[in-house]
Amino acid sequence: MPYVSRPVVALPEHRVSTGEIVADLERAGAGRRDLAAAVRIVRALGVETRYTSHPLERLGQPETIADRNQWTVRAVNRLGAEAAAGALAAARLEAGQVDAVIAAHSSGIAMPGLSVHLARELGLRADVLHVPVTQVGCAGGAWALALAAELVTARPGRRVLVVAAEALSSCYRPAEPGHIPAMYRGLFADGAAAAVVSSDPRGPGLRIEDTWTYLLPDSTTAYWMEVAATGQHFDSTPAALRAVAGCMPPLVDWLKEAGPGAWPGWVAAHPGGPRIIHSVADGMPGGADLRHAWSSLREHGNPGGPAVLDVLRRLHQDPPADGAPGLLCGFGPGFAAAAVRGRWSDGL
């Protein structure tokens, strides 16, 4: 049965407060009628601080896609390697004991990608299975854990290094004619997280019993990434506000199939924003304790795929009882969802 080791998180050096975001927004949108609404949106996101790979004053400057992509890839690789090295240490493993690596990111375009960089930086074996994942966005952490669990189940004894890394601050851009991209300016952040999934417990953590993935029908226009002359940018329609709620009934049906004894007593949900967290809470019969998702959002913003692993990391600081059933879930462009359910293990 697959076990997930304690996740390790890596953050860049620039800590940006919401007050600084608002001040930059007010400077860039001075005199515009929609400025007050944009400021309200940023303040309502529930984010107090987030971490970025460059100072805020640089992020809002015009830049070619080539220049922006170059530093984005460097940031993803650096943060991913830092988190991966920490995860191996936390799992008490050497690089040579890794059999597969799943590297998830959506920011930055590079070939070879993050997994090859990790192989070089960490000293992974030449015969390690590489699974690069570049198009699942914010669902990346949950999706990678689900895939890792399938790989371990298919071949017991396999040890899979899961790494999710993003530099979503590369999407930060100044106000444009007719549009102030307020939500993503205030929400997105940079970071990486990593953990090991194996058939032998590497300390306390989640023991995965089943996995689930889901693509919400007719939802491709809810939330997406596009490439412009200034770089990669995310956008959405009002359908994105309803997308997580649309994924919850089939997720709950899947949970119910396991029987009442497997109903989650704890939930690690992707902290992609207040609407996502509320939708998960509202969609779970009886509600769910999502305080770790809220604290992750407040302190780190939304760094995409790594975020749900940060929530799982926080559970290690306040662990459930041994054997307590739980759920980890994430959501992203597609509109897609991924989840794993299982039980907390004390690692013995």
The helix/strand/coil state of 161 is strand
Confidence at 180, pLDDT banded by 50, 70, 90: low
Among residues of the chain, what percentage have pLDDT more than 90? 78
> Which pLDDT belongs to residue 47?
97
31 phi-psi bin (left φ>0, alpha ψ -120 to 50, beta other): left
Q: Report, as an integer, the average pLDDT of 51-74.
A: 91
Confidence at 200, pLDDT banded by 50, 70, 90: very high
pLDDT exceeds 60 at position 263: yes
pTM for the predicted model, two decimal places: 0.95
> Which pLDDT belongs to residue 96?
97
Confidence at 327, pLDDT banded by 50, 70, 90: very high
pLDDT exceeds 60 at position 345: yes
What CA–CA distances, in Å, run from 206 to 20, 77, 263?
37, 26, 15
pLDDT single digits (tens) 249-262? 999 999 999 999 99
In the chain, the domains with their CATH numbers are: 3-198 (3.40.47.10), 205-345 (3.40.47.10)
What CA–CA distances, in Å, run from 209 to 3, 6, 196, 198, 212?
9, 17, 16, 13, 11
Say how far residue 130 (Cα) sits from the centre of its chain: 20
Calpha distance 328→312 (Å, rounded)? 8
The average confidence (pLDDT) of the chain is 93
pLDDT single digits (tens) 6-34? 999 999 999 999 999 999 888 877 777 88
CB 190 within 8 A of CB 303: yes
Which is more confidently placed, 307 or 110?
Answer: 307
**Joined tokens for residue 143:** 């999706």
Calpha distance 105→285 (Å, rounded)? 32
